[in-house]
């Protein structure tokens, strides 16, 4: 076993699921933050266990060819972008391998070749949403920032290299407001304090930006002081509160209180416009979202005659993308505000052949198709959160036996697990296409086409 603070020379051989470099010494696996496969470095042990240890790079002895200098000044400390020190080509190679490994090892599909990942031309400043926790610096000044990796220690951040240029003015305005108003940042340890997170989202196609403070309460002191500052920032159209009084690390609570201006942002993808509540999920990378949805549309193979289900539909983005090419689209989503947006979005775009239902997909889909056997399903699209699809949902999908299933996934491991179940039930994998929605991070999106072999 190593000792804390011990120094050792290590060659980084691989990378973990959470983005740490992996090396071995004396039979012990060492995880090293901000290290890249191919680096040889002097590592200081931070935490030692019997079979593994965590360390940090003290000195780079020989850098890997895959290494780069991050543009972001807080990259070394911030836990947001785990791959900041890896050049973009290497990041893409890593994600490609991750998807292929999951398909082969977890799914057991030894004859499926994953298609080359679609990356970005410019993998910076792509995000349309930021969420910054509030806290206090050692000297008591209110700070906004990001969590350091593996901890809830806040790294004060003036700007994030992945967000749009100009977002730093919002952070500055909120910081000034916190200092001047005396509004207390929330303390995770004690559960006391008011301001938990600052959330901001911008519609890249419209420029509209909404700021939402997540608060442990229902009011903030002198809200007009904050609005006066925010209102001067180009693009900012609204300020609202989200109420989260739970002692939890889930960011959002379930109540929204509009304060000034609009509570939702409008954005466009292709020729469809969307209203997006701060409570609703919306893809964070508009450039790659269009690529992803176009792939989903192509995989769906619609001719205008199909009944399509879009399960885990959010604000109806994929549903409306597909509706123009289908007979009817049914969307199901668990967040009520997202479904309100979805219905309004269908109406605003003059799309009459899409219906939306609130509830868990695993409850609503069996119930509706059970009650109305005539509805049927020619194509099913699923786009679940990282934990993947519910088993009841998978078995209902098999029972409905659509010709094609389009599975959009943000976690290749649960994708592979679910594909195994669907393929055992009579489907064949036709295409597996990774799309890089999250440059800088370890995450990867994949869209997969399955066809019914019966
Ligand atoms: N397809 C949408 C949203 C995908 S994100 C888009 O591309 O924008 C996954 C969505 O699943 C989120 O909106 C989340 O709120 C929703 N969700 C999570 N669990 C669910 C469940 N059990 N049933 C239905 N929707 C669920």
151 vs 325, higher pLDDT: 325
Q: Is 163 in the pocket of ligand 1 (CB under 6 A)?
A: no
407 lines ligand 1 (CB under 6 A): no
CA of 161 to the centre of ligand 1 (A): 27
Q: What confidence score (pLDDT) does residue 75 get?
A: 86
447: β partners: 408, 433
For a ligand 1 pocket test, name from 254, 281, 381 the mutation site with the most ligand atoms within 8 angstroms of its C-beta.
Answer: 281
Atom 21 (ligand 1): residue with closest C-alpha? Answer: 360
Q: Which of 253, 250, 352, 145 is nearest to 240 (CA)?
A: 253
* Phi (first) and psi of residue 45, to 5 degrees: -75, 125
SS (H, E, C) 237-291: EEEEEEECCCCCCCCCCCEEEEEEECCCEEEEECCEEEEECCCCCCCCCHHHHHH
Half-sphere exposure of 46 (CA within 13 A, CB side): 10
Instruction: For residues 278 and 273, give the distance between their C-alpha atoms in angstroms, rounded to a whole number.
Output: 16
* 424: helix, strand or coil: helix
pLDDT of 335-385, one tens digit each? 999 999 999 999 999 999 999 999 999 999 999 999 999 999 999 999 999
Which residue has its alpha carbon closest to ligand 1 atom 3? 314
Name the residue of 285, 312, 418 whose CB sits within 8 Å of the most ligand 1 atoms, as the mutation to test its pocket: 312
Burial class of 391 by CB neighbour count within 10 A (0 to 12, 13 to 18, 19+): exposed
Is 352 touching ligand 1 by the criterion CB < 6 Å? no
Give 72's DSSP letter. Answer: S
383 ligand 1 Cβ < 6 A: yes
Q: Is 281 in the pocket of ligand 1 (CB under 6 A)?
A: yes
| Strand pairing class (14-15; 52-62) | unpaired
pLDDT for position 266: 97
Determine the distance separating the centroid of ligand 1 and the alpha carbon of 26, expressed in angstroms: 45
Q: Tell which residue, 208, 359, 199, has the closest CA to residue 273.
A: 208
Residue 71 pLDDT level (bands cut at 50, 70, 90): confident
Please give the distance, rounded to the nearest whole angstrom, from the Cα atom of residue 279 to the centre of ligand 1: 12
**pLDDT tens, position by position, 299-335:** 999 999 999 999 999 999 999 999 999 999 999 999 9
Euclidean distance between CA atoms 244 and 127, whole angstroms: 24
Say if 7-62 and 129-269 have the same CATH topology.
yes
**How far does the centroid of ligand 1 lie from the alpha carbon of residue 48, in Å?**
39
Distance 382 CA to ligand 1 centre (A): 9
Please determine, for residue 437, whether its predicted confidence score (pLDDT) is greater than 80. Answer: yes
The pLDDT of 157-168, averaged and rounded, is 94
Q: State the average pLDDT over residues 148-162.
A: 85
Distance of CA 266 from the midpoint of ligand 1 (Å): 19
State whether the beta carbon of 267 lies less than 6 angstroms from ligand 1.
no
Q: Give the pLDDT confidence score for residue 376 in this predicted structure.
A: 96
Q: How confident is the model at residue 291 (pLDDT cuts 50, 70, 90)?
A: very high
Residues 95-149 have pLDDT tens digits of 999 999 999 999 999 999 999 999 999 999 999 999 999 999 888 899 999 988 7
Q: What pLDDT is stored for residue 89 in this prediction?
A: 97
Our answer on whether the CB atom of 338 is closer than 6 Å to any ligand 1 atom is yes
Predicted pLDDT of residue 140: 87
How much of the chain exceeds pLDDT 90, in percent?
Answer: 92
**pLDDT value of position 164:** 96
CA-based nearest residue to 94, from 10, 174, 45, 37:
37
Domain limits of the chain? 7-62, 100-120+283-452, 129-269
Instruction: Output the pLDDT for position 383.
Output: 98
Name the β-bridge partners of 427: 452
For residue 243, the CA-to-ligand 1 centroid distance in Å is 21
The DSSP bridge pattern shows strands 129-136 and 52-62 to be: unpaired
Q: What is the CATH number of domain 100-120+283-452?
A: 3.40.50.150
Is any atom of ligand 1 closer than 6 Å to the C-beta of 260?
Answer: no
Pairing of the two strands 142-147 and 52-62: unpaired
Tell me the per-residue pLDDT of 379-424, one tens digit each, with 9 for 90 and over.
999 999 999 999 999 999 999 999 999 999 999 999 999 999 999 9
Residue 150: pLDDT over 80: no
Mean pLDDT for all residues in the chain: 96
Count CB neighbours of 50 within 10 A: 8
Catalytic residue among 41, 78, 410, 448: 410
pLDDT computed for residue 76 by the predictor = 84
Mean pLDDT on 229-238: 98
> Residue 313 C-alpha to ligand 1 middle, in angstroms?
6
Return the CATH number of the domain spanning residue range 129-269.
2.40.50.1070
Cβ contact 270:290 at 8 Å:
yes
pLDDT tops 80 at residue 151: no
**What is the rounded distance in angstroms from the CA atom of residue 312 to the CA atom of residue 324?**
19
- The confidence score (pLDDT) of residue 72 equals 86
The question of whether 448 is a catalytic residue gets the answer: no
Q: Which residues of 219-238 are buried (b: 16+ CB within 10 A; e: fewer)?
A: ebeebeebbebbeeeebbbb
CATH class of 7-62: mainly beta
| Helix, coil or strand: residue 301 | coil
Cβ atoms of 263 and 238 closer than 8 Å: yes
Which residues make Cβ contacts (< 8 Å) with residue 424, sequence separation at least 6? none
Our answer on whether the CB atom of 361 is closer than 6 Å to any ligand 1 atom is: yes
* pTM for the model: 0.94
Q: Whose C-alpha lies nearest to ligand 1, atom 10?
A: 312
Instruction: With a cut of 90, say whether residue 225 has pLDDT above it.
Output: yes
Q: Is the CB of 312 under 6 A from ligand 1?
A: yes
Q: How far apart are CA 367 and CA 355, in angstroms?
A: 15
Mutate to test the pocket of ligand 1, among 277, 384, 414 (most ligand atoms within 8 A of CB): 384
Pairing of strands 404-409, 445-452: antiparallel
User: What is the pLDDT, as a whole number, of residue 147?
Assistant: 87
């Amino acid at each position: 076993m190593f000792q804390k603070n011990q120094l050792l020379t290590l060659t980084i051989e691989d990378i973990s699921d959470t983005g740490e470099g992996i090396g071995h010494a004396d039979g012990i696996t060492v995880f090293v933050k901000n290290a890249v496969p191919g680096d040889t470095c002097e590592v200081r042990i931070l935490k030692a266990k019997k079979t593994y240890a965590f360390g940090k790079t003290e000195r780079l002895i020989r850098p890997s060819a895959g290494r780069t200098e991050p543009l972001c000044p807080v990259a070394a400390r911030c836990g947001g972008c785990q791959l900041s020190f890896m050049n973009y080509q290497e990041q893409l190679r890593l994600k490609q391998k991750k998807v292929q490994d999951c398909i082969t090892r977890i799914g057991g599909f030894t004859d499926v070749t994953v298609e080359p990942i679609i990356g970005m031309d410019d993998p910076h400043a792509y995000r349309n949403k930021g969420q910054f926790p509030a806290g206090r610096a050692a000297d008591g000044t209110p700070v906004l920032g990001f969590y350091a990796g593996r901890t809830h220690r806040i790294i004060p951040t003036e700007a994030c290299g992945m967000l749009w240029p100009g977002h730093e003015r919002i952070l500055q305005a909120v910081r000034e407001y916190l200092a001047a108003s005396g509004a207390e940042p929330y303390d995770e340890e004690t559960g006391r304090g008011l301001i938990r997170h600052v959330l901001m989202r911008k519609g890249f196609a419209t420029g509209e930006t909404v700021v939402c403070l997540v608060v442990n309460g229902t009011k903030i002191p002198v809200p007009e002081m904050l609005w006066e500052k925010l209102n001067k920032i180009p693009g900012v159209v609204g300020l609202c509160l989200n109420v989260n009084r739970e002692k939890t690390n889930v960011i959002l609570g379930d109540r929204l209180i509009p304060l000034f201006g609009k509570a939702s942002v409008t954005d466009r993808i292709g020729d469809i416009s969307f209203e997006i509540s701060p409570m609703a999920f919306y893809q964070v990378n508009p450039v790659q979202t269009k690529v992803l949805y176009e792939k989903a549309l192509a995989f769906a193979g619609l001719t205008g005659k199909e009944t399509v289900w879009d399960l885990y539909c959010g604000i109806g983005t994929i549903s409306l993308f597909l509706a123009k090419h289908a007979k009817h689209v049914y969307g199901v989503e668990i967040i009520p505000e997202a479904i309100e947006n979805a219905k309004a979005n269908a109406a605003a775009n003059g799309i009459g052949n899409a219906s939306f239902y609130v509830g868990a997909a695993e409850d609503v889909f069996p119930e509706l198709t059970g009650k109305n056997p005539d509805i049927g399903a020619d194509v099913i699209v699923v786009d679940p959160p990282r934990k993947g699809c519910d088993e009841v949902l998978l078995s209902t999908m098999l029972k409905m036996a659509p010709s094609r299933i389009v599975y959009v996934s943000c976690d290749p491991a649960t994708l592979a697990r679910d594909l195994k179940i669907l393929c055992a039930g009579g489907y064949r994998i036709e295409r597996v296409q990774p799309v890089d929605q999250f440059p800088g991070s370890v995450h990867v999106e994949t869209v997969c086409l399955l066809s019914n072999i019966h």
